[in-house]
Amino acid sequence: MPAFPAVPATPALLVDRDVLDRNIARMADAARTRGVSLRPHAKTHKCVEIARRQIAAGAVGLTVATVSEAEVFADAGFRDLFVAYPLWTDAARGARLRALAAEVRLTVGVDSVEGARALAEHARPGLTVLVEVDSGHHRTGVAPERTGSVAVAAASVGLEVRGVFTFPGHSYGPGQPAVAATDEAAALSRAVAALEATGHDADVISGGSTPTAHLDVPAATELRPGVYVFGDAQQLELGTIDEDAIALTALATVVSARDDTVVLDAGSKVLGADRAPWATGYGRILGAPDARIVALSEHHATVQWPADADRPTLGTRIRVIPNHVCSAVNLADDLTVVAGDTVVDRWPVAARGCNT
Amino acid sequence: MPAFPAVPATPALLVDRDVLDRNIARMADAARTRGVSLRPHAKTHKCVEIARRQIAAGAVGLTVATVSEAEVFADAGFRDLFVAYPLWTDAARGARLRALAAEVRLTVGVDSVEGARALAEHARPGLTVLVEVDSGHHRTGVAPERTGSVAVAAASVGLEVRGVFTFPGHSYGPGQPAVAATDEAAALSRAVAALEATGHDADVISGGSTPTAHLDVPAATELRPGVYVFGDAQQLELGTIDEDAIALTALATVVSARDDTVVLDAGSKVLGADRAPWATGYGRILGAPDARIVALSEHHATVQWPADADRPTLGTRIRVIPNHVCSAVNLADDLTVVAGDTVVDRWPVAARGCNT
């Protein structure tokens, strides 16, 4: 395993540029083949250089989760942004949304009558919204049949309702992607019918997650996957990608060892503490599929090394695949870009910590 | 519950200054009463203003987890720093340690013969070290009986061995603090005996965690708790503190609601995804002890509201107690300091992201 001597200190997040570019091209091709627009979620990478590559490959715009993420990408010159979140708008957030809408083609999510009213009151009438639909994740969004009543309320306060969106987050489980994609298609179809019954066209029918992005969702006109640019251990363990699609790893050093375990200097403050109930551990080791990260603290990952493999010695540099790459990236100030074993660039995580 | 209108946007981390000061004073008093030195772990707050308050209350110096944390606190004028971690030292890290040791009274951890040799070779002989002892957490550190051999190896390459340290991390479980404190005392005593048998004095015998800080560990001369400054939901659920010792909360807004649940705009990118197997959820709600955070994603906390209480309406601001406050602080650029309902200051998280 290459030690990346040009990286002055571990832990550090490495991005393999060639794998990244291949992931971006593949998703863009898949969207084109299916005839849907691709609007990647920038919360995964928070990185201007990566967003530029996505747009260059054909993405129609970016998805973001927060107004402050939208502000970062607007400042960097991106001109079509969708805040896929049911924002609560007060006077301060309203002023920020007005400033954004003056600069970019802005769309925001809404999932309640009250949320639509607050948006129109504090941001401005005329703002474009999509109604969020719950397709089975049961987080935010309204039941498909309620889409119409939210749309009517939004239109009555002067918002421009352009369609619906959903996030089939229940796709994140073994055997779940196909189920979630079926749910998503059904929910979007019913939501569109409810919207049209109130006299609104659904120009945008937006869905998608990385686990379901390769599945057909006939109702959708737009896909919003995020994780696909980097991949992560969750996607590996869900079986949606192979290790050759892993573009981001945390370079870590073995600092301690005993028996069949080693301790790495990348802990939850580098990898994130995310661990789904079905995960095999707190991430995976690149090139050592049978190693297991059995414990994680802030600056320690305890790795059980397989008995039939040589345990790495102290000082060895190891690449860790985070469970949830969005969390890992949001902990880093910059990404070290490599091509093969060579460091070729450093990209700032421009929207790191942009939660408001 | 106060809405903190002076906080322009949620989510935001609030620090209650009076509670913070009381927590700092209480731990300082407890250490004085027991006749041990207090060297608080600064990885919890990463904040110069809070470290100054700890020193003013009588702390002998600071504990840090990484060299980059040490660099931040050295730059801010702190002069006695212990890196409580078995660092792996290469040329680049060695140069940084030399620069630090020229400026401050620096101590670093060591838990292997190889680690001691790398430290002496790349940093410098004469550097002060403490040998890390495993007292039952089984993460890093050597068995107490092996302390002597590591000390001999360290001394043979010119390092100055001043004692031992341990972290009884297995105190983080229901019913575990007393067990862990007993283990800690036994391990430290045996480690000191092993050290002295090789002709080294144990001037420093350093231990402690927030869950065990109120328990007597007769062998220790120094305590290194971190979390006590803020408290968190883990400490509440372990029963080591009451809610009136919670100094840090995430101010969040209700953005969506259905049935008996509300969704807040503070997710894992604000609270951290930490969840111990024994935790009741992904954090707690201040002032609503029966509410449960049943799901967490990056920008959503799904809260099940108790049936006998009024469910908060959309737009209501709620204060969330993170499960693990160290993770939450490391996600924020600054802390909003409040006294009662009034915002009185804003402190930068100076060492945020300092993982190397």
Using the beta-carbon criterion (under 8 Å), do B263 and A140 form an inter-chain contact? yes
Predicted local confidence at residue A46, as pLDDT: 98
**Residue A41 confidence class, pLDDT cut points 50, 70, 90:** very high
CA A252 to chain centre: 24
Least Cα separation, residue A238 to chain B (angstroms): 18
**Residue B3 confidence class, pLDDT cut points 50, 70, 90:** confident
Using the beta-carbon criterion (under 8 Å), do B353 and A330 form an inter-chain contact? no
B140 touches chain A (CB under 8 A): yes
Phi, psi angle pair for A155, to nearest 5°:
-65, -35
Using the beta-carbon criterion (under 8 Å), do B269 and A92 form an inter-chain contact? no
Using the beta-carbon criterion (under 8 Å), do A302 and B92 form an inter-chain contact? no
Q: How far apart, in whole angstroms, are the C-alpha atoms of residue A348 and residue A49?
A: 9
B156 touches chain A (CB under 8 A): no
pLDDT tens readout for residues B178-189: 999 999 999 999
Phi, psi angle pair for A185, to nearest 5°:
-60, -45
Instruction: Read off the pLDDT of each residue in B289-298 and give the average, rounded to a whole number.
Output: 97
Q: How far apart, in whole angstroms, are the C-alpha atoms of residue A91 and residue A191?
A: 30
Predicted local confidence at residue A154, as pLDDT: 97
Looking at the predicted structure, is the pLDDT value of residue A125 above 90? no
Q: How far apart, in whole angstroms, are the C-alpha atoms of residue B280 and residue A279?
A: 20
Instruction: Read off the pLDDT of each residue in B8-36 and give the average, rounded to a whole number.
Output: 97
Looking at the predicted structure, is the pLDDT value of residue A316 above 60? yes
Predicted local confidence at residue B333, as pLDDT: 98
Looking at the predicted structure, is the pLDDT value of residue A227 above 90? yes
DSSP conformation class of B133: B
CA neighbor of A230 nearest in space, from A218, A244, A217 = A244
**Residue A1 confidence class, pLDDT cut points 50, 70, 90:** low
A278 touches chain B (CB under 8 A): no
A109 touches chain B (CB under 8 A): no
Residues in contact with A47: Cβ distance below 8 Å, sequence separation at least 6, in sequence order: A329, A335, A347, A348, A349, A350, A351
Using the beta-carbon criterion (under 8 Å), do A255 and B88 form an inter-chain contact? yes
pLDDT tens readout for residues B93-104: 999 999 999 999
Instruction: Read off the pLDDT of each residue in B298-305 and give the average, rounded to a whole number.
Output: 98
Residues of A in contact with B114 (CB under 8 A): 313-315
% residues pLDDT > 90 (chain B): 92
**Between A and B, how many CB-CB pairs are < 8 A?**
154
* Residue numbers of A between 36 and 75 with CB closer than 8 Å to B: 43, 65-66, 68
Predicted local confidence at residue A2, as pLDDT: 67
CA neighbor of B131 nearest in space, from B149, B151, B115 = B151
As a residue count, chain B comes to 356
Q: How far apart, in whole angstroms, are the C-alpha atoms of residue B248 and residue B23?
A: 11
* pTM for this model (two decimals): 0.97
Least Cα separation, residue A52 to chain B (angstroms): 23
Predicted local confidence at residue A67, as pLDDT: 98
pLDDT tens readout for residues B58-112: 999 999 999 999 999 999 999 999 999 999 999 999 999 999 999 999 999 999 9
C-alpha neighbours within 13 Å on the C-beta side of residue B8: 10
Predicted local confidence at residue B210, as pLDDT: 87
Q: How far apart, in whole angstroms, are the C-alpha atoms of residue A235 and residue A296?
A: 20
pLDDT tens readout for residues A238-297: 999 999 999 999 999 999 999 999 999 999 999 999 999 999 999 999 999 999 999 999
B260 touches chain A (CB under 8 A): no
Looking at the predicted structure, is the pLDDT value of residue B220 above 90? yes
Using the beta-carbon criterion (under 8 Å), do A299 and B114 form an inter-chain contact? no
Average pLDDT over chain A reads 96
Using the beta-carbon criterion (under 8 Å), do B333 and A353 form an inter-chain contact? yes
**Residue B163 confidence class, pLDDT cut points 50, 70, 90:** very high
% residues pLDDT > 90 (chain A): 92
B315 touches chain A (CB under 8 A): yes
Tokens (6 digits) for B212: 């065990």
Predicted local confidence at residue A153, as pLDDT: 97
B331 touches chain A (CB under 8 A): yes
Q: How far apart, in whole angstroms, are the C-alpha atoms of residue B184 and residue B168?
A: 6
Interface mutation target, options A227, A298, A299, chain B, most CBs of B under 10 Å: A298
A208 touches chain B (CB under 8 A): no
B294 touches chain A (CB under 8 A): no
- Calculate helix-pair angle for A67-75, A91-101, nearest 10 degrees: 30
Predicted local confidence at residue B125, as pLDDT: 84
What's chain A's Rg over C-alpha atoms?
Answer: 21
- For residue B313, the chain A residue with the least C-alpha distance is A114
Using the beta-carbon criterion (under 8 Å), do B118 and A297 form an inter-chain contact? no
**Residue A211 confidence class, pLDDT cut points 50, 70, 90:** confident
B253 touches chain A (CB under 8 A): yes
Q: Is A51 left (phi over 0), alpha (psi -120 to 50) or beta?
A: alpha
% residues pLDDT > 70 (chain B): 99
A197 touches chain B (CB under 8 A): no
Delineate the domains of chain A, giving CATH numbers in brackets: 17-230 (3.20.20.10), 234-348 (2.40.37.20)
DSSP conformation class of B279: -
Nearest to A273 among B112, B114, B273 (CB): B273
CA B10 to chain centre: 25
Using the beta-carbon criterion (under 8 Å), do B273 and A275 form an inter-chain contact? yes
**Residue B1 confidence class, pLDDT cut points 50, 70, 90:** low
Using the beta-carbon criterion (under 8 Å), do A115 and B314 form an inter-chain contact? yes
Looking at the predicted structure, is the pLDDT value of residue B208 above 90? no
DSSP conformation class of A203: S
Q: Terminus-to-terminus CA distance in chain B, angstroms? A: 40
**Residue A219 confidence class, pLDDT cut points 50, 70, 90:** confident
Nearest to B114 among A298, A314, A333 (CB): A314
Looking at the predicted structure, is the pLDDT value of residue B2 above 80? no
